Every structure is written in structure tokens, then in C-alpha cells.
Chains A and B, each alone.
Chain A
Amino acid sequence: MFVFLAENIGTILVGMAVFGIVSAIIAKMIRDKRNGKSIICGSDCSSCRSNRC
């Protein structure tokens, strides 16, 4: 088992990093949805600079 770990340590670390990032993103999207913000751009338009004329 340790041999497996040692050989594939690179893959495992990178894989965990990617998984971590993806989870963080999804978690943030769920939080945004709960707070009434848009999940796509993470803002609620009132503080968005694009909301001006």
C-alpha cells in the first residue's frame, strides 16, 4: 500500500487539490443561492458596478 502511495503521490496530491477547489466552488455557489445572490456571478446586483447607467 505504501508503495502505491509513494508511486502515485503526485497524482494524489494534485487530484486532491483539484477536488478541493471544485468543492469550494460548489460550496460557495450553495451559499450564494441561500443568500439570494446569483450563483453565476456571485453578486446581488446592488453592489455590482454594471448596475449603473
Chain B
Amino acid sequence: MPITIALAGNPNSGKTTLFNALTGSNQFVGNWPGVTVEKKEGRLKGNRDVIVADLPGIYSLSPYSLEEVIARNYLIDEHPDVILNIIDGTNLERNLFLTTQLTELGIPVVLAINMMDVVKKNGDKINTSQLAKELGCQVIEISALKGTGIMEAAKAAVDTAGNVKTIPRHGFSGTVEHTLAHIEEAALHDLSEERRRWYSIKLFERDEKIIAKLKLGQEQVQHIEDSIKSCETEFDNDSESIVTSERYAYIESIIKGCVKIKNKGSLSASDKIDRIVTNRWLAFPIFALVMFIVYFVSVTTVGTFVTDWANDGVFGEGWHLTGGSAYEEAAGNFEIERLKVEVYLTAAREAGLNAEAVAETLESEEPDEAVVDAFIADASAAPVAAQLDVTDEEGNLEETLSVSATDFKTALTAEEPDPADFGVWVPGVPVIVGRFLEAINCAEWLQGLILDGIIAGVGAVLGFVPQMLILFIFLAFLESCGYMARIAFIMDRIFRRFGLSGKSFIPILIGTGCGVPGIMASRTIESERDRRMTVITTTFIPCGAKLPIIALISGALFNGAWWVAPSSYFVGMAAIVCSGIILKKTKLFAGDVSPFVMELPAYHMPTAGNILRSMWERGWSFIKKAGTIILLATILVWFTSGFGWADGSFGMVDMSDSILARLGSLIAPLFAPLGWGNWRAAVAAVTGLVAKENVVGTFGILYGFAEVSEDGIEVWSELSAAFTGLAAFSFLVFNLLCAPCFAAIGAIKREMNNAGWFFIAIAYQCVIAYVVSLCIYQLGLFFSAGNFGIGTVAGFLSLAGFLFLLLRPELKGQPLKTGGAFGINA
């Protein structure tokens, strides 16, 4: 008979870490029936007969939030064999509040006090045996993070299961107990002994759901109500408050005897940091600065350096492991010789000599020696002399060289240096693969598929891996140190003004990594309306997959301008805040603001190991994605862009006649007002629906990433030729704001649980993306070049409409009803 252990505890108590430690990879994740809260179950490591059910993190078993209702329904209906209650040792009092309720359920309880490592470090002492005696259950010390005590806790739970009954030790005050006895007598004689306690207390608290569940008759309800009322009169307080107060009073009494806190009241390190970071005046600038640095460093500075290596080197011609600078020098010298030749020829023309014949023959494969010698003879006789101004990178004059006929002759013999002759030269992937395919005589079309399709597409995406890794390091640090929770605290006021609470910010922060867990994190928001709004706006913030797009546009189309990458983050934020305002003013979302009662966990310094592991895991997942779904997409794009109908038959055609070009041209006009009405851009944006990285992959194929331009410098030269600056930015913003990838769209669908809402969400995102891009392009054109046309009118109208929706007076919300603030439909 399998035993079920229910894992219960406060949010932030380390429950998830414990669950993972107990079950390893033997987890099964689904949904609690009928709702969108995640349900996790798994088998205990080393004991396949034991199932561990992870209940949602809750502070109490009240009927007011979705998570609490789910947890208590599970506990009373499914009746697990034992409850493993995880408690944060640095926060005992509040954690024990839940414990007092769990012990009333009639199910055996085992306590696991977590974070014992922190407790010990603080110098606090917990007398666990005394605690166990007071509470009537076993108490095990654990540290889920460090991995200590976990198996003992599991063993204690298994041993306790079904055997020992936890008798609730704590009693309420006399009058309350009296009333509870009354209630038991009046309504609960049908229940088994151990269940009566919890039910009587719930009835005392007038718990509507329990009243409904027990199907009590009018008379019974009235009788109970009278008892409760008399108790309330005596205490001059409502029943719920009486119960809650007495619980805490009881907890206080236990704590006095079992716990010694060392440094009560002194400022912890966290507090000191918070003094600066959440300071009235500094908090925002610090936040803006932090996010700016994150994006600037990842994409523009360090990022660009490594990406150039990845794009031009690994996926381009090749790169120098050593000897790079020597090659640079030699290449520079060769360039000077070449320029000498040019300059001399020009001087010769100016002097009246006929330079055409020699110029022509020099261009050919085998220059005619006779013609060259004749020219040199004439030039020396004249005499023709030239001057070469050598400039450095910024165009400043370095030196001036004189070029005589002899110099000219010498210059002609200069040979272009072969990079392979200098140090260790690693040829690029396309070069290696290309040579291999040639060597084994692979058919043209297959070579095309591999080089111009797969390597071009996937290579383009993988080229950005270095930048992504740097971004992941930053994000991992910010998340694990606890800074993110502070942001919610700071942002709450703004968010409240605009209709959301600071809690809505957490999904957005998670969304900077991946939108899917961000959308799912909206479940912690109690208000149904606010939850929906958060789901709609979470994906505006750039996720990891959008980073290649940002990096590509900022690098190739804006030459690494410092403002492009951070601007994408701030555009996302602005979109979220503005959407919050606009939506809150519509009938659908208007209403009172949801309450914000949030706990701030302490800061802690993440270990380098943790950060690196996080970076590596995310990075590897990105690479895997590139090698699977993106690879498939590139094959499809290559095929549809290389084949089509020409002259009535099907076969390989010029790109502009391909199937993809034709299809793309159908939808391209839609994007013309946005500045990028060409089929390639339109197609790229559409492939982005499958995975955002595909935008880069598709561009890689359609703009010939694998072919380097003549002077070998710019890899994305064709792309930068196809977009003006304004069009590029408009394209960027569109892709950032429009509907996310299929995975995220699926998450939105699941969370909304309603076709209408799902449609509204996607439609809203696409419309916002279109309108904002339109304004950027059209108004940008108008203000910069003075172009005025129907597009500009559309732009101004959109802007006006946008501002109206943003600034109009708020609709009167509905008054705050009991339970309404938490919007429970369960």
C-alpha cells in the first residue's frame, strides 16, 4: 500500500528545494483538477512505495485564497498518511501558525525545521525536543540547501504515517473551547473523532465553504450562530480574529520556552543593504542603473567582443588561437602596398599617362609582364611620383609615404598574407564542413542544405551564445541574492497607481529568463483580474530567446550603439506599465486594487558555483533548443526559400521566386507602414512565433549569413543594407512586444483557461506591437526627415488614441466585497 506524505509549509520556506531533494527526478507535474495551480507529486528516493505530494506554499488554511483552498481540500478529502510540515527556522512564529492548524486535521504531523544552517550561523538556539513535546509531533532539523537531515525527516515521516496520531496539544481559552464543544455537539456527531477538532474551529470561524460542505440545516446553522455570537460579545471581537489571536498567543508561549534569539532588533546585513537599495531617492536610479548595466555589458561591450569572435570566427572564415596580432600587422602592411599601387596608378593618369592597359592586366589572373614593364618604363621616364596618406582607424593621418616607380614595382610583388601562416589558425565551421563536403563529393543541393541552410541558420543563432551566457550570469546573480523581491516592493506604488500590485512584478522578473515560468508565476496573485492582466503583459519584457534579436539589431544594424540593448528592456517595462494603466481603465479590468501583503526574504550571497551552474544549465538548454526546433525551422526555411515554381516546373530557383518569397510577399505589405514591408522581414517575424531565436536563424539564411562580404569584414552586411535605422528599431520593437513563442502562447492559454481571454491576450499583444512600431517608424520619419503622408497621419492618430486611453479618467470600480478582493471562483 503506497504511503502518501503531504509536504506543507509557508512560501519561501524551502519547500521546493526539499521536494526536489526527496524525489530527485521522479517527479510528475500536473494541475490540481479544475484550476490552474501546479500540482507536484513524486516518489520518494530510495522507497518507491512512498509518494510525496507537494502542496502549494500557504500561510494558513483559510478559505480565502486559491492555494489555501486547494491545500486544505487535499488534506481533508484525500487524507494523506502523514504531513511533513516544513518550517523556516529563522522565522518560527509565523511558520508555526500553519502548524497549529495542520495538527488539528487528525493527520499525523512531522515537523522539519529548515535553514538550520542559518539559524546556527546567527547564533540562535532552538530546543527541538522541547518543541516536539509542546506540539506533540516529531521535530527534525534539516537544511534543504545543504542537504542535511533530509533523509531523517523522510524516515520520520514514513514511520509516523498511519501509526501515530498527532493530538493537537493546544487549546483555546475556556469560553472558546466551550463554544467549540457546543458546535461539535450540534453539527459534528457524524464525523470521526480526530476530524471534529478542525471542523468545529472552521464552523466557529464561519467558514462558508465548510458550512456548504457539511450541508448543515438552517436550524443547525442558527444554533451555531447563536453560540458564536455570545462568544464574540464576550471577547468584543469577531470569531476569526479570536482564533487567530489565540493561536499566536499559544505560539508565543511555546517559543519563550524553546527558542533563544541572539541579536534581536539589531540591523542585519540585509537591512543595511536595504537602507541604500530601497532608499526613497536612490531605489529607482539604482534599479535603472542595474538593468542598464546588465544589458549594456551583456550585449554591447563584453558581449560584442565574444560575439564577433563567434560570428566572424567560429561561424565565419576562422579565427586565431595564437598569432592574431602578427597576422593583423602583416595584413596591414599588405593593405599599404595595395594602396600604393592604386595611388600610383591615379598619379600616372593625372600625369597624362595611359594607365588603363596596365590596370586591366593587373586585375586579371595572370598579368601580362610586358605591359607592366612598359608602364613602369614610361612612368620612371616621366617621372611619376605619388603620395600615400596613411590614416588610422579614426581617420587621423599617421604618416605620408612617397611612391616612386620603383616602389610601385615592389608593391606589385606583395602577397596577401594567408591567416593560416600565422600562429594557430582555426578555420570556421562553414569552411571545415565545406571542405569536407567537397572532398567526399557531396551533391550540390545537399551541400546547399547543410551550408546555406542548417549552418547558416543555426550558426547565426549559436553565434549569440556567448552574449546569452553573460546575461544569464547577471540574471542568476540578481535572482539568487534576493534583489528581485526588493524590486517588487519598490515598484508596488507605481504598479498600484496603474492597477497592479507589486506582486505582479515577480512574473515579469522571471520573464527576463523565460516567459513560460513567468506566466505560470502569476498564480501567486490572488485577484483574478490582476492575474489575467499580469499574464497578458508578462511577455513584454525581453526573454532570453529575444536576446539574439536584440544583439543582432544592436550589433549589425546599429553598429553596437550603447543605447539599443538597454532600450529594449525599458521599452518592455514601459509597455507593461502603460498596458496596466490602459487595461485597468477598461471595463474588463476595472476594480479595486488587490491587497499587497508580501514577505521580504533576507539577502544572501549566491555561491559562484550556483551562478555558474545556473548559467550553464540555461545556456545548455538554449543550445539544445538551437539544435532541435531551430534546426528543423532552418531546414524548412532553406527549402521554401530555395525552391519554387519557375517556368512552370518545380525546382531550385532564385530566392526571390521561391515559395517563401511568394508567401512572404502576400503578408509583407501589412508591415510596410512599419518600415519593413519586405518579404524577408515579414517571414522572419512569423518564424519567430515558433521560437524567438528563429528571427535570427531565418535572417541567417535569407540574408546569406554564410557568405561573407567581399572585404571580409561584415558578416551581416546584406542585412544592414536592407534596413534603415528607424526601420530596424521598429522591427526590433515589434518582435519584442508581439505575441510570444508557441510555448509561451500555450502557457497563456492554460493560465487563462478560457478561450475568450486567451484571444484577448494575444490580440492585445499584437495590436500593441503593431501600433507602437507604427508610431516609431512614421513619427520618426516625420520628425527626422519631414516625410508626411498617410502613414504619418496614421501614426499621429495612433499616438493620440494611445494617449487618450492612457490618460482618461478611471472608471469607478466596484466596492470591495468580502472575498471579492481575492476573486476566488474555485
Contacts and interface: CB of A to CB of B under 8 A. Distances in A.
* A–B direct touch in complex (beta carbons closer than 8 A): yes
A48 B517 contact: yes
A46 B27 contact: yes
B516 A52 contact: no
B331 to A, nearest CB: 35
- How extensive is the interface on chain B, given as a class? 35 or more
B510 A50 contact: yes
Interface string B73-99: 000000000000000000000000000
Contacts of A7: 441
A43 B514 CA distance: 12
A25 B510 contact: no
Contacts of B625: 40-42
Contacts of B621: 41-43, 48-50
B511 to A, nearest CB: 9
Contacts of A44: 29
Interface stretch (B271-279, B349-357, B443-451, B658-666): B443-451
B544 interface: yes
A53 B29 contact: no
B423 to A, nearest CB: 32
User: Which of B442, B613, B742 counts the most A-chain CB atoms under 10 A from its CB?
Assistant: B442
A53 B509 CA distance: 7
B514 A51 contact: yes
A30 interface: no
Interface in B220-257: none
Interface string B614-626: 1001100100110
Nearest to B617: A49
A43 B622 CA distance: 11
A18 to B, nearest CB: 7
Contacts of B29: 36, 44-46
A45 B520 contact: yes
Contact of B479 (A18, A39, A47, A52): A52
B517 A45 contact: yes
Interface in A1-53: 7-11, 13-15, 18, 21-22, 25-26, 28-29, 36, 38-53
A50 B443 CA distance: 42
B525 to A, nearest CB: 14
B119 to A, nearest CB: 23
Nearest to B437: A14
B690 A40 contact: yes
Given A25-B632, A50-B544, A53-B479, A38 B516 contact: yes
Given A45-B517, A45-B520, A46-B29, A14 B450 contact: yes
A42 B514 contact: no
Nearest to A11: B443
B635 A41 contact: no
A49 B520 contact: no
B338 interface: no
Interface in B15-42: 25, 27, 29-30, 38, 40
B513 A50 contact: yes
Contacts of A53: 479, 484-485, 506, 509-510, 521
B474 to A, nearest CB: 13
Given A13-B440, A45-B517, A40 B629 contact: yes
A12 to B, nearest CB: 9
B25 A47 contact: yes
A51 B743 contact: no
A25 B691 CA distance: 16
Nearest to A39: B629
B628 A29 contact: yes
Interface in B423-448: 437, 440-443, 446
A7 B544 CA distance: 46
Interface string B396-427: 00000000000000000000000000000000
Nearest to A21: B631
B510 A10 contact: no
A22 B627 CA distance: 10
Nearest to B746: A38
Contacts of A48: 514, 517, 617, 621
A52 B510 contact: yes
Given A14-B450, A15-B446, A42 B743 contact: no
B632 A38 contact: no
B449 A18 contact: yes
User: Which of A26, A28, A43, A44 counts the most B-chain CB atoms under 10 A from its CB?
Assistant: A43
B628 A42 contact: yes
A7 B449 CA distance: 20
A48 B449 CA distance: 33
B628 A11 contact: no
Nearest to A24: B628
B450 to A, nearest CB: 7
A9 B30 CA distance: 49
A43 B516 CA distance: 11
B741 interface: yes
Given A10-B440, A11-B446, A41-B621, A51 B628 contact: no
Contact of B632 (A26, A47, A49): A26
Given A18-B449, A25-B631, A41-B743, A49 B440 contact: no
Contacts of A21: 631
Nearest to B515: A50
A18 B618 CA distance: 26
A50 B509 CA distance: 10
A7 B628 CA distance: 31
A18 B631 CA distance: 11
Interface in B576-625: 613-614, 617-618, 621, 624-625
B614 A49 contact: yes
A50 B618 contact: yes
A8 B741 CA distance: 40
A40 B691 contact: yes
B734 to A, nearest CB: 21
B743 A22 contact: no
Nearest to A15: B446
Contact of B517 (A18, A22, A50): A50
Interface in B619-660: 621, 624-625, 627-629, 631-632, 635
B635 A22 contact: yes
Contacts of B613: 49
A35 to B, nearest CB: 10
A47 to B, nearest CB: 7
Nearest to B507: A53
B618 A51 contact: no
A10 B441 contact: yes
A25 B485 CA distance: 39
Given A25-B631, A43-B621, A48-B517, A14 B440 contact: yes
Nearest to A38: B743
B745 to A, nearest CB: 10
A9 B437 CA distance: 12
Contact of B516 (A10, A45, A47, A49): A45
Contact of A36 (B30, B443, B509, B614): B30
Contacts of B618: 49-50
Contacts of A9: 440-441
A43 B517 CA distance: 11
A32 B507 CA distance: 25
Contacts of A28: 628
Contact of A40 (B40, B484, B742): B742
23 contacts: A9-B440, A10-B441, A10-B443, A14-B440, A14-B446, A18-B449, A21-B631, A25-B629, A29-B628, A40-B625, A40-B691, A41-B514, A41-B624, A42-B621, A45-B29, A45-B516, A47-B27, A48-B617, A49-B613, A50-B513, A50-B517, A52-B614, A53-B521
Given A14-B450, A46-B29, A52-B517, 13 more contacts: A8-B441, A14-B440, A25-B632, A28-B628, A40-B629, A40-B741, A41-B743, A49-B513, A52-B479, A52-B513, A52-B614, A53-B479, A53-B521
